[in-house]
Amino acid sequence: MNFQIFDDYETLSRHTAQHIADLLNRKPDALICAASGDTPVGTYRALVQLVKEGKTSVDRCTFVGLDEWVGLGPESEGSCANYLQRELFGPLNIPSDQYRLFDAKADDLEAECASMTQFVDDRGGFDLILVGVGLNGHIALNEPGTPFNLKAHVSELAETTITVGQKYFSTPTPLTLGVTTGLQQLMDAREAILIASGSKKAPVIKAALEGPVTEKFPASIMQTHPKGYVWVDRDAAGE
């Protein structure tokens, strides 16, 4: 595992975007799993700038959404799909045949997860997966106690996730379940990047990197990834 501390959020974001650009330059048809949330925003905006400057291209790659709140779709303001459209696919003019998102409104969620797993497996797994980390150590919507060996699956949301998740919505929104990429898919990815910023993430990063590797704290799995990167700003490295 590669651990680096950057002076500030902007430097962290630019570095992460450049890493993604370097991958796209080496492998234009890369399969990239993209997280939503506050932390990746800077990375996506920096990547958009690199594309606009002609430093890399997204013409042949494919993106997969990391997770989604069950019952919400792209039209919902706080959905992961809405976020990715707004921050990544829209600004990069990525057509719909170059990305695959969870259908969290599907009648059969288990079948939807199986379909997503098949989509990723048919393409040989992720070349890169970009994730953040929750205050309870979750990666994607893999909550504490989630087995490390799962692929895409339905997740029962922890109370912390439900509470924090409200920040993405302008009105109170019921959140109980998620559909998510599994930790086995993170481990199978050729590269996995976990980014974190801000002092509130400092105890999380300490537990993830210095604590035991345990399903009770999903982010600890990054300690075992053969090509895992944990990149944080100084505030998130405070402990």
Place of tokens 């199986």: 114
- Known catalytic residue at 143: yes
Q: Contact 72/41 with Cβ under 8 angstroms?
A: no
Q: Among the options 127, 143, 191, 233, which is catalytic?
A: 143
The yes-or-no answer on residue 121 being catalytic is no
Of 19, 68, 127, 136, the catalytic one is 136
Q: Is residue 136 annotated as part of the catalytic site, yes or no?
A: yes
Q: Is residue 20 within 8 Å of residue 231, measured between CB atoms?
A: no
Catalytic residue among 19, 138, 153, 225: 138
Selecting among 67, 87, 103, 112, the annotated active-site residue is 67
Is 188 labeled as catalytic in the residue annotation?
no
Which residues are known to be catalytic? 67, 136, 138, 143
